[in-house]
Amino acid sequence: MIGNSATTGGFVQLICLAQKATVVQTDYEASTSVPTVLVVLLIIGALTLSFSLYFRERGHSGRAPRLLLGCLRSVCLILVIWMLLGVQATETRSTLPELIIALDQSGSMQTVDSGPSEDLVSRFDSALYELDAQSKRLVRRLETEYQLRWVLIGKDSLELPFGNQWPPASAAEVAVDESASRLGDGIAQILSARSTQAAAIVLMSDGINTEGLSLTDAGDQARAERTPIVTIGYGRATGIPDLAIADVLADKNVYLGDKSILDVNLSTTNTQAGRQEVVLRDRKSGAILDQTAAELEANGQTNVRLRFQADSVGAHELAIEVEPLPGEEAVENNTYQLDITVQNRKIRVLLVFARPSYEYRFLKHWLERSKLRSSNSALDEQAAFEVTTILQDGAAMPLIPTTEAELSQYDAFIFGDFDPSLISSVSQDAMRKSVSGLGSGCLFIFGSDEPSRDFDGSVFADIAPLQFPSFPVGPPEFSYQWRPTALGLSAPPLLIAGTPEQSLRRWSDAPRIQALATARRILPTAQILAEADGGLAAPAQPLLVSNYYGAGRVVVQLTDESYTLGSVGGSDELYERYWTQMLRWLTRGRLRDPNIELTLRPNQARFGTPVQVRLSGSDSRLVDQPTTEVSVVSQLGDESLFMLRRKANSPGIFEGSLVDLLPGDYEVVWKGDTTTVKKSLEINQPPTEQSNLQSDHAALKDLAARSRGRFYVEGQLSKLLAELPKGTSLPVAASPPKPIWNQNWVAMLFVALLTCEWLLRRRVKML
């Protein structure tokens, strides 16, 4: 069925044009050059003269005869004008515009899509059945208005010698399973091989294009050549649903008794909105530790939070699982495994206050009497905190350690209404290094009626999440209520009950505070965990602000009346929970595993798919750095550098993407001062025709829109053909002009009109 072909640049170009269909068109024009306006005026004048004469003429005839006589006289006068113009006829022979019907014969068109029907056929057969089902009336119209050309497009472009034959039943005999789809190149070849201006290109395809020119570029080329592409999409437009655990953010090292928050990011593809259960499970015992329902977005991202209660010391092997969707096939990404290490050790605290305020006394005494949590009775008497206190108003004020070795032993630094000028610059710098490099926590407490101190130029001004506040002078005007923010209810210091809702109710019962410092400017990266709610009397103001500084966390508490939490309901439970969880949360950076971990997701990727890189851990090269670099080494030894950026609000975690890597095996390497980590990466060959069988109707819509065509779906072929553009015929030959004003039939018509007028006048007695 197929003629001989010649291969050019990997394309089979088959020249097998049908015989040109022509049409003869007769055009009439005047031999004299007379303005159209003048001709119209002459005709109007002839009509006016004819009817006015007959309606004004005396006689007893009725209105109808006069109207008929006026028409006969008008035709005679118009015929005279026509002869005076010297009208002549010209016959023009033109070729019909082409209508190119292109069928996608690539391997994806052999796919049988699932559906409710038992008689399932391939996409290609569906297209042939639609062509066969068209009515004869519609086909006859197409055959008289267009030259039909049939083209098969797959890896190569084949033109079929069917001409105006309909339907092209023999097309099924050449439908083969192609290894690739080059729709864009096929359209470009059709445009270059046209012999006349095409009315349109009808593309019957599933829209899958794996190689060559993109459909976007093909649409732009068709628009430039004024050839609309009308597309009709076949196959399932929605792919196989997939629900994946895209990312999990959690502290991998916590204290015994901590409530650790696991932020889980879920991604959905080819799905509708719905609800799915997410479970936190112990991998060893299989016990469910926590579960929640995720409200999934259609084809988007959803964040949920799970809670892990650290009840025993040691390594806990956990798994986060999400229930697969109906019809989901790739279920391996529905599980995420992680390990959390629970420690139980003493926290060393350096407590620096300007004076022995109530806040200082309550906090100091509570730190000294707190005990470690443990089921082992031998440990029950061990202190939970080791406190070093310094009061700056003492006559013999203890000296703050100045060496890095001494200050690096502290897990947390707490400063309350202190004077930074009384702390040496050497000590300040050592504290900064301990926070940024070792993960120590730093907490500033303000809110008294002390005058504002000058922090400019100190290390404390650099590491704080806000400009140090201004303090009220004199008695406070308002009282405020503790109010955790939505973000704060996920932080352990404010999550003092089982759920965020219960915690919010507990905080609403807390005593109101009066001493409140005012934050002048909060850094954009800082987190406001709690606000001071003044109700209708005063606007809400920041109360608890947090931020990361290197590997450590820095918190500012803008009141020094947290001691009032020790008198809620006659118990100090609220005060104890707040400060226990605050100090443990503040010092989690000290528990961080010093080992560097390099993660690639996925470690086997298809060509063109970005590879997500995550680097986490502690190293001197990561301290205070917003970025770091990894090198990607190919099998041939070629090395490329890619930048990773620090993850917002996550110290020691850097993320980035590897893109534009050619197929092959690679090694991703990060080099630190003392550590080098490597991971293997494999980039597979580009996807074949069978790699993705989801119909790309969006690409077909875009192709039609760019070329100023239209998009239809399977079952709308009849509507498509009925709405095709007319196209423009191409003149190929014209006969010499032939005068027709002096033909015999013109004179005979003129005489006949006059005779009829005379006979009618005689009959109605108007002679």
Average pLDDT over residues 384-404: 78
CATH 3.40.50.410 for domain 6-21+96-237+694-730: yes
Average pLDDT over residues 295-303: 85
d(CA 642, CA 221): 36
pTM (global) more than 0.85? no
In 512-638, beta strands by DSSP E: 527-533, 541-549, 552-557, 597-601, 604-606, 611-616, 627-634
Helix (H) or strand (E) holding 469: none
CA distance 271 to 18: 47
Superfamily of domain 593-691: Macroglobulin (MG2) domain (2.60.40.1930)
Averaged pLDDT, 281-306: 89
State residue 585's pLDDT score: 92
Mean pLDDT confidence for 334-341 = 89
The mean per-residue pLDDT over the stretch 316-344 comes to 87
Residue 283: predicted pLDDT: 92
pLDDT for residue 159: 57
CB of 607 closer than 8 Å to CB of 431: no
Read off the tokens for 76. 């005679």
Q: Is residue 69 over pLDDT 90?
A: no
Q: Which of 8-17, 156-165, 249-258, 553-562 is predicted most confidently?
A: 553-562
Strand residues in 608-686 grouped as ranges (E): 611-616, 627-634, 639-646, 653-658, 664-671, 676-684
Instruction: Name the CA radius of gyration of the chain, rounded.
Output: 43
6 sits in which H/E element: strand 6-8
Other Cβ atoms within 10 Å of 474 Cβ, number: 6
Q: What is the mean pLDDT of residues 268-277?
A: 84
Q: Name the CA dihedral angle for 734, 736, 737, 740, rounded to a multiple of 10 degrees.
A: -110
Residue 731 predicted with pLDDT over 80: no
- Whether 453 shows a pLDDT value over 70: the answer reads no
9 falls in which pLDDT band (50, 70, 90)? very low
| Best mean pLDDT range from 181-185, 350-354, 383-387, 390-394 | 350-354
Q: Are 263 and 303 in contact (CB under 8 A)?
A: yes
pLDDT of residue 379: 43
pLDDT single digits (tens) 12-37: 233 333 344 666 667 778 777 888 88
633-691: pLDDT as tens digits: 988 888 888 888 887 666 677 888 888 888 888 999 988 776 788 888 888 776 555 55
pLDDT tens, 138-167? 777 777 788 888 888 876 655 555 555 555
Q: What is the mean pLDDT of residues 319-344?
A: 87
Q: Residue 13: what pLDDT?
A: 31
| Sheet with strand 242-249: strands edge to edge | 242-249, 259-269, 301-309
Is pLDDT of 8 > 50? no
CATH number assigned to the domain covering 345-591: 3.40.50.880
pLDDT in tens, 736-749: 888 887 888 888 98
CATH of domain 239-341: 2.60.40.150
Q: Which residue's entry shows tokens 């019957």?
A: 204
Q: Which residues contact 463 (CB under 8 A, 6 or more apart)?
A: 432, 435, 436, 442, 549, 554
Residue among 158, 233, 232 nearest 200 (CA): 232
| 9-to-107, 157, 180, 233, 399 alpha-carbon distances in Å | 21, 12, 16, 29, 83
Q: How far, CA to CA in Å, does 299 sit from each of 241, 330, 391, 694, 729?
A: 9, 16, 58, 15, 47
pLDDT band at 279 (very low <50, low <70, confident <90, very high): very high
pLDDT at 717 over 80: yes
Q: For residue 486, how many other CB atoms are within 10 A of its CB?
A: 9
Q: Does residue 6 carry a pLDDT above 60? A: no
Q: How far is CA 80 from CA 358, 584, 671, 750, in A?
A: 119, 110, 101, 8
3-state SS, residue 67:
helix
Top-confidence residue, 603 or 590: 590
